[in-house]
Structure 1
Amino acid sequence: MSGAEAALPAEKEEESEEESEVLEESPCGRWQKRREQVNQGNMPGIQSTFLAMDTEEGVEVVWNELHFTDKKAFKAHEEKINTMFEQLVVVDHPNIVKLHKYWLDVKDSKARVIFITEYVSSGSLKQFLKKTKKNHKAMNARAWKRWCTQILSALSFLHSCDPPIIHGNLTSDTVFIQHNGLIKIGSVWHRVFANAIPDDLRSPIRIEREEQRNLHFFPPEYGHVADGTAVDIFSFGMCALEMAVLEIQSNGDSRVTEEAIARARHSLDDPNMRDFILGCLLLNPDKRPTAHNLLFHQVLFEVHSLKLLAAHCFINNQYLMPENVVEEKTKELDLNMVMAEIRREGRPAVQWRYSEVSFLELDKFLEDVRNGIYPLMNFAATRPQLLPRALSQPQEDPQKAKTPTPEPFDVETRKVVQMQCSMEMNEEKAQWHLTLLLILEDKLHRQLSYDLLPTDSSKGLASELVHYGFIHEDDCEMLANFLENAFHKHRSPPL
């Protein structure tokens, strides 16, 4: 037997091991369910949560499964469940774990809802604090402010919905940290999802009891009919306290005592931080501040509002500028030039020169803004977010079963940071050929080409790109204006 023939069985064995790692694929083949289970469930009652691979984007995601044993009852409510998930998929916030896709799997006498959520690989806030406590006595104040701002930004978004969305399960175990410092809140739909499932489908759903060690995150009114968004503020206050002291001691896995919480509160040296946290932990829910108001607390003002507004304006319009615009502009500056000045009567003015500014810090700051670490919501007026209609309307009970709807097109969640286009006249067809280059925030380059028809409009083309998942919905108007300028430039007759 030759050496090549001898190697064949080994190659086949290696291939079979690799194939055995993939347990299941989505109907479109994009997501592959793996054997490894992860503890990052984003809904209550999830029977299985697996690590999966998004083969199109090349990133890891979470494969969640919800099982129903009563197929007849499931079919009766299939339209309601479909509608609910279709609306949840479009909810998008940089500090909330994203629900990417869902589909229904109905076979024999059983039914499943499978949905794909974002995977945050760096772990939970609880895990991070435990590791940090080994080498530090307290959390860095700057990191604490960043984390609080991002959690409150997500809560402000949820609470501004009409009607408000109550998280109801905010603990240091349901807050996740990415490697770049971005905070992501999981289990956001804990209460909404539980309430949306009809009574005749709830029996097979396994609702796990809260762990004893996390009971201190919930206020006295938790679980009562009258509780509201103030529940989340109390839970956030406990998270902020735990972040500040790194750990609130408990006896093994038992509940954290009131004495341990009191010791943690008294250990806070910063009076602003203490005032901030104690306001969240007031026993009377009516006296607790809102998430939006907390974002204006003086303890969180790490970045001046004018600087933050300028940074967001720069990021939102970066597609109009060269990629290295910061580097090029800083080369042109006279470092001895006065950048800002405070004039004072009877005393010399205070001046800041460009030589005192670190441009490396500017690049890092802009990168943090782009990643969502400094959200703009705390400087904007509260705007009610429209709650998905399936979650705000009273429960319906359709009498006839509906067949599963086709999978919708993928929703693009990344923003466009730069765009270029060129137009050439195709003499044979006597029409313009458009080539569009889009650079997304994760540096992905997307090139599209199209033969323009006389009836095509810039708004129509931009809307079509949103529909087919090529651009984010928020970029639609920006791209339409960009295309309109290009059309006017090329189609206008020369003077």
Structure 2
Amino acid sequence: MSGGRSIDKERKSPRESGEDSEDESEILEESPCGRWLKRREEVEQRDVPGIDCANLAMDTEEGVEVVWNEVQFSERKNFKAQEDKIQMVFDNLTRLEHPNIVKFHRYWTDTHNDKPRVIFITEYMSCGSLKQFLKRTKRNVKRLPLQAWKRWCTQILSALSYLHGCVPPIVHGNLTCDTIFIQHNGLVKIGSVAPDAIHHHVKTCRENMRNMHFIAPEYGSSQMVTPAMDIYSFGMCALETAALEIQGNGDSGSHVTEEHIVRTVESLEETRQKDFIYRCINKDPTKRPTARELLFHPLLFEVHSLKLLAAHTLVNTTANISETITDEVAGGASGEALAWCIKQGERAELAAKDLQPHAEKLEKFVEDVKYGIYPLTAYGPALRGRGRAASPLERLAESLPASPEPRDLETRRVVNMMCSLKPHPHPQPDATPADLLMTILLRMDDKMNRQLTCAVSRRDTASALAHELVQLGFIHEADRDKLSRLMEESLRSSFGPGAGARA
């Protein structure tokens, strides 16, 4: 759940008019940890099934605005029956990391009242929804440029492919132009992922005529929501985006019929665009393509340029990208060869001076790649790790043994680490005299500290200890090697040369 503030049609809100309202900024509630402060100011709900109220809130640690969402259960017994499932679903949502998905920060439950609540904090998108953008656009243009439409569709499909690729698949369940948000730089994010666990126990907005045409025809007859339902909804979003509006749109309260939909599709000029949309809105869910397959549709598929691949490599491997990518950084200042090619049967080296000038500034292009405007999509499932980020549950499934124990994944990075060894103050009766107590101090990127202690001996290796810390969810996978080297140095200084080395 994330969207623009609710604004009265007759007058602007105090914030819009530049006035500060003490009533709207009043703090109504505080999170148990004290980090998030709920304000009176409400956020437009965007017809999200299951969300009872949504208020603007302040993240006191980051100093940014977020959305405070509440789901209220009608009876305590309904909540108790679903408590384990709800916890599992929301735990998974907090692990989602994708540039085209509104960030789901944290959640907690409130069971002190007769009607239990689930409260969760999401990223606030102040830029507005795709629906609002289309309304403003159609005043001046009749059609959205095909290239912009393709870029938006690619970003939405990249997010859906990520969600549907989770184990088990995460179904959005409420994809409309109201739950897709666009920023000023062209970045598109989907929000309002409404877990199916809460749909059947709280009020919903399915009766809203305005968005009925986004719902797959099989909804209601099926026992569960499926990724194919998301694809149908995406097809309707793609159609409305391409045409700027669906003829006979339900904004006025009228029902959008199949005739309206077909007439709007046929009004498009691009044949491949029509085929793309018809595939998505096929009445038979088994015949709808997956999000991954749609990324390979002839209309969207492009072989990624070397420039885009290099930008993704830079973004994914560099911790702090320079704010200004100068010609010197790009290789333009030195005369060294950047690549080689075959010219007239002979090998020839290419330097930066031999290349054509950049059509756009590299700084902005790399920034756009970092924010998710140009996702990598032209990779098949076998290369999934490069085509998109592995979902949290996929990473969990790949790293666990055959009989996995439940554990969390650490998504935070370590910014500072220390390791020390000292004699064990309370040695175990069966411990060897050589056993020492290892203490590791970690400073995480959210400014939180973590202290870990364990008994170690000469037989322990730094690589095995670091691997175990990753498995237990204490450190991020990317920090394993660095911590392993630090522990190896400490083990060698305490046990002598050869200790702590890889087996």
Whether the TM-score (by the shorter chain) exceeds 0.5 is yes
Aligned to 2:169: 164
1:432-486 residue CA offsets vs partner (Å, 9 max, x unmatched):
9999998x7xxx9x698999999595786798799899xxx7xx23222234456
Provide the rounded CA distance (Å) in 1 between the counterparts of 2:344 and 2:213: 51
Give, in angstroms, the shift of residue 266 of structure 1: 2.5
The answer to which of 361-370 and 299-308 deviates more is 299-308
Q: Which of residues 246, 250, 259 in structure 1 aligns to 2:248?
A: 250
Aligned to 1:403: none
User: What is the correspondence of 1:300-449 to structure 2 with a 5 Å cutoff?
Assistant: 300-301=300-301, 304=304, 306-319=306-319, 327-330=327-330, 332-333=332-333, 354-358=354-358, 360-381=360-381
Whichever residue aligns with residue 281 of structure 1, its letter is I
The answer to which of 265-274 and 298-307 deviates more is 298-307
Whichever residue aligns with residue 266 of structure 1, its letter is E
Provide the rounded CA distance (Å) in 1 between the counterparts of 2:50 and 2:316: 39
**1:229 and 2:234 are equivalent in the alignment:** no
Aligned to 1:85: 90
Provide the rounded CA distance (Å) in 2 between the counterparts of 1:327 and 1:451: 45
Provide the rounded CA distance (Å) in 2 between the counterparts of 1:256 and 1:342: 58
Provide the rounded CA distance (Å) in 1 between the counterparts of 2:82 and 2:211: 33
Whichever residue aligns with residue 304 of structure 1, its letter is H
Give, in angstroms, the shift of residue 44 of structure 1: 2.4
Aligned to 1:4: none
Provide the rounded CA distance (Å) in 1 between the counterparts of 2:185 and 2:285: 34
**1:213 and 2:218 are equivalent in the alignment:** no
Secondary structure in 1 matching 2:62: coil
Provide the rounded CA distance (Å) in 2 between the counterparts of 1:59 and 1:98: 13
**RMSD of aligned alpha carbons:** 4.6
1:217-261 residue CA offsets vs partner (Å, 9 max, x unmatched):
233323322774322222212211211121223262212233433
Provide the rounded CA distance (Å) in 2 between the counterparts of 1:323 and 1:449: 31
Provide the rounded CA distance (Å) in 2 between the counterparts of 1:453 and 1:328: 47
Cα 1:80–1:281 change in 2 (3 A) is closer
**Cα contact 2:304–2:376 (8 A) shared by 1:** no
Aligned to 1:138: 143
Secondary structure in 2 matching 1:299: coil
**Cα contact 1:70–1:109 (8 A) shared by 2:** yes
| Larger relative contact order (Cα-Cα within 8 Å, sequence gap ≥ 6) | 1
Give, in angstroms, the shift of residue 90 of structure 1: 2.1
**Cα contact 1:46–1:66 (8 A) shared by 2:** yes
Aligned to 2:479: 479
1:375-407 residue CA offsets vs partner (Å, 9 max, x unmatched):
23542526685769xxxxxxxxxxxxxxxxxxx
Cα 1:233–1:340 change in 2 (3 A) is farther
Provide the rounded CA distance (Å) in 1 between the counterparts of 2:454 and 2:292: 48
Whichever residue aligns with residue 235 of structure 1, its letter is S
Secondary structure in 2 matching 1:161: coil
User: What is the correspondence of 1:174-189 to structure 2 with a 5 Å cutoff?
Assistant: 174-189=179-194
Give, in angstroms, the shift of residue 89 of structure 1: 2.2
Aligned to 2:15: none
User: What is the correspondence of 1:68-147 to structure 2 with a 5 Å cutoff?
Assistant: 68-71=73-76, 74-75=79-80, 77-147=82-152
Give, in angstroms, the shift of residue 125 of structure 1: 0.9
Aligned residues: 433
Give, in angstroms, the shift of residue 50 of structure 1: 0.8
**1:59 and 2:64 are equivalent in the alignment:** yes
Provide the rounded CA distance (Å) in 1 between the counterparts of 2:107 and 2:448: 28
Provide the rounded CA distance (Å) in 2 between the counterparts of 1:320 and 1:72: 49
Give, in angstroms, the shift of residue 414 of structure 1: 7.0
Secondary structure in 2 matching 1:32: strand
Cα 1:378–1:21 change in 2 (3 A) is farther
Provide the rounded CA distance (Å) in 2 between the counterparts of 1:73 and 1:221: 26
Provide the rounded CA distance (Å) in 2 between the counterparts of 1:156 and 1:268: 26
Provide the rounded CA distance (Å) in 2 between the counterparts of 1:229 and 1:344: 52
1:353-389 residue CA offsets vs partner (Å, 9 max, x unmatched):
755231753322221221122223542526685769x
Provide the rounded CA distance (Å) in 2 between the counterparts of 1:108 and 1:450: 36
Give, in angstroms, the shift of residue 75 of structure 1: 4.5
Q: Structure 2 unaligned segments of length 5 or more: list them.
A: 1-19, 346-350, 385-389, 395-406, 421-436, 498-503
Give, in angstroms, the shift of residue 68 of structure 1: 3.1
Secondary structure in 1 matching 2:381: coil
**Cα contact 1:150–1:183 (8 A) shared by 2:** yes
Secondary structure in 2 matching 1:158: helix
Provide the rounded CA distance (Å) in 1 between the counterparts of 2:212 and 2:56: 28
Secondary structure in 1 matching 2:108: strand
Aligned to 1:398: none
Whichever residue aligns with residue 292 of structure 1, its letter is R
The answer to which of 19-28 and 41-50 deviates more is 41-50
Provide the rounded CA distance (Å) in 2 between the counterparts of 1:18 and 1:234: 42
1:144-176 residue CA offsets vs partner (Å, 9 max, x unmatched):
122111111121122223443333322111212
Q: Structure 1 unaligned segments of length 5 or more: list them.
A: 1-14, 196-201, 346-350, 389-407, 425-430
Cα 1:210–1:27 change in 2 (3 A) is same
Provide the rounded CA distance (Å) in 2 between the counterparts of 1:341 and 1:243: 42
Give, in angstroms, the shift of residue 104 of structure 1: 1.8
Provide the rounded CA distance (Å) in 1 between the counterparts of 2:216 and 2:82: 34
Task: Point out the structure with the larger helix share.
Answer: 1
Whichever residue aligns with residue 85 of structure 1, its letter is F
Cα 1:187–1:432 change in 2 (3 A) is closer
Aligned to 1:266: 266
Cα 1:330–1:490 change in 2 (3 A) is farther
The answer to which of 120-129 and 255-264 deviates more is 255-264
**Cα contact 2:24–2:39 (8 A) shared by 1:** no
**Cα contact 2:23–2:40 (8 A) shared by 1:** no
**1:49 and 2:54 are equivalent in the alignment:** yes
**Cα contact 1:23–1:35 (8 A) shared by 2:** yes
Cα 1:370–1:67 change in 2 (3 A) is same
Whichever residue aligns with residue 291 of structure 2, its letter is A
Cα 1:86–1:145 change in 2 (3 A) is same
**Cα contact 2:67–2:122 (8 A) shared by 1:** yes
Provide the rounded CA distance (Å) in 2 between the counterparts of 1:112 and 1:132: 39
Cα 1:343–1:273 change in 2 (3 A) is farther
**Cα contact 2:94–2:106 (8 A) shared by 1:** yes
Provide the rounded CA distance (Å) in 2 between the counterparts of 1:362 and 1:292: 29
Cα 1:378–1:121 change in 2 (3 A) is farther
